[in-house]
């Protein structure tokens, strides 16, 4: 017989985090104490968003990426995210308290037509359209083409974000684009393999926002 827990809504997140921490070693064979506290907070929220403990072993943070992301949030950086589903999940209240905004131009007028003319995806076209706005954080959870375009624009000097969050999901160039991001020297957060998606990108962003308040 299945027994459901009667938990007040405001306690669900904290109870979930407690369960994740209690099961963390059993599920991952990793000691929490061996992981940087900022990185663990991000990994924990990703596990919470996905129900998947495997992210504990596949997420990659290059040196100081979490700290740099927190500083960028506190400085009021704008966040580009590739798709509307991701944009809707970002905690705009916290972001706005620092002066930042969410940038997600994929549905703006002209993007679809411009993408068709160029033979590009809408997400890539949307990203290239906002280079002059210089978002402080680039987050890609859905489209490898957007992550590839972001890296090209950074290499060309057209974009200079404080942090790149690249966790696209899929079977065509998702894993490869993340492998390429892993070779970069600028701050990034990514993961190995085909898993990822907008929920992962949003979880990383919201974890950084929560940490920025502490």
Residue 209 near residue 56, CB atoms below 8 Å: no
Residue 201 near residue 167, CB atoms below 8 Å: yes
What DSSP designation does 146 have?
H
Judge whether 158 counts as a catalytic residue. Answer: no
Residue 202 token pair: 């949003």
Which one from 45, 48, 122, 178 is the annotated catalytic residue? 48
For the chain, give percent helix, strand, coil, nearest 5.
55, 10, 35
Residue 100 near residue 72, CB atoms below 8 Å: no
Residue 134 near residue 94, CB atoms below 8 Å: no
Enzyme catalytic residues: 48
């Amino acid at each position: 017989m299945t027994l459901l827990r009667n938990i007040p809504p405001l306690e669900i997140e904290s109870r979930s985090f407690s369960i994740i921490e209690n099961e963390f070693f059993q599920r991952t064979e990793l000691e929490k104490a061996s992981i940087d506290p900022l990185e663990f907070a991000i990994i924990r929220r990703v596990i919470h968003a996905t129900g998947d403990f495997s992210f504990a072993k596949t997420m990659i943070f290059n040196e100081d990426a979490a700290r740099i992301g927190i500083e960028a949030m506190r400085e009021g950086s704008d966040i580009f995210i590739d798709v509307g589903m991701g944009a809707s999940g970002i905690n705009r209240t916290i972001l706005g308290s620092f002066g930042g905004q969410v940038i997600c131009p994929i549905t703006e007028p002209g993007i679809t037509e411009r993408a068709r003319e160029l033979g590009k995806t809408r997400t890539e076209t949307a990203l290239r359209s906002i280079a002059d706005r210089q978002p402080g954080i680039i987050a890609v959870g859905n489209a490898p083409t957007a992550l590839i375009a972001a890296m090209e624009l950074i290499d060309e000097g057209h974009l200079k974000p404080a942090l790149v969050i690249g966790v696209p999901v899929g079977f065509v160039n998702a894993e490869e684009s993340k492998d390429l991001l892993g070779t970069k020297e600028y701050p990034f957060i990514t993961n190995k393999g085909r898993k990822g998606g907008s929920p992962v990108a949003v979880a990383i962003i919201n974890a950084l926002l929560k940490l920025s308040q502490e």
